[in-house]
Amino acid sequence: MMKEIKVSSFKQVKDIVSAAASCECELNVQDLKGVIADAKSILGLMNLDYKHPVKLMGENAEEVEHVYNAVVQ
């Protein structure tokens, strides 16, 4: 499953990491340039380009939705 997220603050990056940490499946975030980072890695996420929406990707739809909801609210 894939969801697009517009990330506009560092707090949202931290929210992605916090929500992803409670998930069992592997979750990744991909920027428009194609760079992919582990959603559970703050350092990995800091290397992405947030000028455009990023893609949150994972095999478990419920966990992707959980992380998405933690960021957009």
What is the CATH classification number for the domain harbouring 65?
A: 3.30.1340.10
**What is the domain count for the chain?**
1
Model pLDDT for residues 17-71, shown as the tens digit of each residue? 999 999 999 999 999 999 999 999 999 999 999 999 999 999 999 999 999 999 9
Residue 73 has pLDDT above 80, yes or no: no
Tell me the residue range of the domain where 53 lies. Answer: 2-72
Q: Average pLDDT of 2-13?
A: 96
Residue 9 has pLDDT above 90, yes or no: yes
Kindly give, in sequence order, each residue whose CB lies less than 8 Å from that of residue 49, ignoring residues fewer than 6 positions away. 31, 32, 33, 35
Burial 60-71 (b: 16+ CB within 10 A, else e): eeebbebbbebb
